[in-house]
Every structure is written in structure tokens, then in C-alpha cells.
């Protein structure tokens, strides 16, 4: 697993270029007011089951905490605009939990979440040595369920998957590297990788 470098990935699709990168601390600080706005938007907050609003400083702390515990955090950009963030957390030797946010409501439902999630899973399976990625979703989060089904996730009620459920009612899914690569080979061939 590559731990010392900050990773970045790009996927140019028709006129749209999706960029995901591991930010420096300074970049997190710079973007934290926008991220706080995205996290605190009422729909996003309920879909992510966030019980408390976050200040920009708390967003910076959240990134610091995730990274100190081995998590890999990414900012998501297109056309020079910060669109959201995503991370792989609770990293085991070959597994992790995934989370993603496309922040502005007006940017949601346009294929960006699926595009960024495809890019980041390609990166994780290729660069982070992961074999399995898990997600836990509240039943009301239909967009996430559709997005993860399209990525190739399947329902998983094993103890390893249920460990990520915060509520009994949460739905848990997993995706293994072989299934992802078989399904998205063409897309992965269009992506570019870099370190920063």
C-alpha cells in the first residue's frame, strides 16, 4: 500500500474532466468553508445521517482525524471547482469503507457521483492494494443505493460488512476488486494516475 505519497487521479470524459486528489493540510483549510457548507446542507446531512452541523475548523479536524487513523481522503474537482469529497476509511490490510459526497444539490443527479466513485475505486484497487470495499447506507438514500449498484456493489450481511452499520436498519454492501475490474475495464483504461 502506498502511504507516503499523496495520490491523484483524472478521468476525462467527453467535455468533462473529473479530478480526485489527496489534499495537503493547507488545501483542506482553504476548502473547509465550502466543505462545511456541503456537509451542512439539510438533504446531504440527512442522507449521511450527520446529527450535528460542522464548522470549517471541525471539517479540518475531521480530515486530520481520518488521516491519522490511516484513512485516505480525497477532494473532488471538475472545471476548477470543488464539487465534493470522498474517502476510504477503516483501512484493514486489504479492505476499507468508502464514503462520498457531491456537495451542491444542483450538481447531484448528473452522473458526477458515479464518475468520481468509479475513478476512486479504480485508484483504490490499483494503488491502495485493496481487495474489498464496504459501504453502509441508510435505507432512504436511494441515490447512493443506485450509484453503488452501478459500481458493482452487492448486498453483504456478513459480520465484516455489518461492522460498518451504525444503525440496525442500515444497508450494507461490498465490492471486490475482480468484480469491479471486470465491469469497468474500459473506463479504467481512460484514467490517469499521478502523485503530488
Ligand X SMILES: CC(C)(COP(=O)(O)OP(=O)(O)OC[C@H]1O[C@@H](n2cnc3c(N)ncnc32)[C@H](O)[C@@H]1OP(=O)(O)O)[C@@H](O)C(=O)NCCC(=O)NCCS
- Using CB under 6 A, list all residues that contact ligand X: 44, 47-48, 99-102, 108-114, 135, 137, 141-144, 146-147
| The length of the chain, given as a count of residues | 196
Shortest spacing between CB 183 and ligand X, in angstroms: 14
Q: At what angle do helices 112-127 and 177-189 cross, to 10 degrees?
A: 110
Shortest spacing between CB 137 and ligand X, in angstroms: 5
- Closer of 24 and 40 to ligand X (Cβ): 40
| Cα 36 from Cα 4, distance rounded (Å) | 27
| Cα 83 from Cα 11, distance rounded (Å) | 15
> Three-state SS for 154?
strand
Shortest spacing between CB 145 and ligand X, in angstroms: 8
- Closer of 102 and 176 to ligand X (Cβ): 102
| Cα 116 from Cα 134, distance rounded (Å) | 16
- Closer of 32 and 78 to ligand X (Cβ): 78
- Closer of 12 and 146 to ligand X (Cβ): 146
- Closer of 26 and 81 to ligand X (Cβ): 81
| Cα 158 from Cα 34, distance rounded (Å) | 37
Shortest spacing between CB 162 and ligand X, in angstroms: 16
Shortest spacing between CB 88 and ligand X, in angstroms: 13
> Three-state SS for 88?
strand
**Cell numbers 449498484 correspond to what residue?**
149
Nearest to 121 by CA among 150, 84, 92: 150
Please give the residue whose beta carbon sits closest to ligand X in the complex.
113
Amino acid at each position: 500500500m502506498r502511504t507516503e505519497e499523496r495520490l491523484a487521479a483524472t478521468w476525462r470524459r467527453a467535455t468533462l474532466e473529473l479530478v480526485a486528489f489527496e489534499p495537503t493540510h493547507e488545501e483542506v483549510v482553504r476548502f473547509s468553508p465550502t466543505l462545511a457548507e456541503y456537509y451542512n446542507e439539510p438533504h446531504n446531512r440527512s442522507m449521511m445521517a450527520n446529527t450535528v452541523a460542522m464548522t470549517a475548523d471541525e471539517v479540518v479536524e475531521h480530515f486530520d482525524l481520518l488521516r491519522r487513523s490511516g484513512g485516505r481522503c480525497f477532494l473532488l474537482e471538475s472545471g476548477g471547482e470543488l464539487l465534493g469529497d470522498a474517502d476510504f476509511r477503516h483501512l484493514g490490510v486489504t479492505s476499507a469503507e468508502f464514503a462520498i459526497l457531491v456537495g451542491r444539490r444542483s450538481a447531484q443527479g448528473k452522473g458526477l457521483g458515479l464518475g468520481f466513485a468509479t475513478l476512486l475505486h479504480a485508484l483504490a484497487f490499483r494503488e491502495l492494494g485493496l481487495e474489498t470495499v464496504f459501504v453502509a447506507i441508510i435505507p432512504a438514500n436511494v441515490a447512493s443505493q443506485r450509484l453503488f449498484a452501478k459500481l458493482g456493489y452487492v448486498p453483504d450481511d456478513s459480520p465484516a460488512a455489518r461492522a460498518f452499520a451504525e444503525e440496525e436498519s442500515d444497508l450494507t454492501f461490498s465490492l471486490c476488486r475482480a468484480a469491479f475490474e471486470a465491469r469497468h475495464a474500459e473506463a479504467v483504461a481512460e484514467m490517469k494516475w499521478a502523485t503530488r
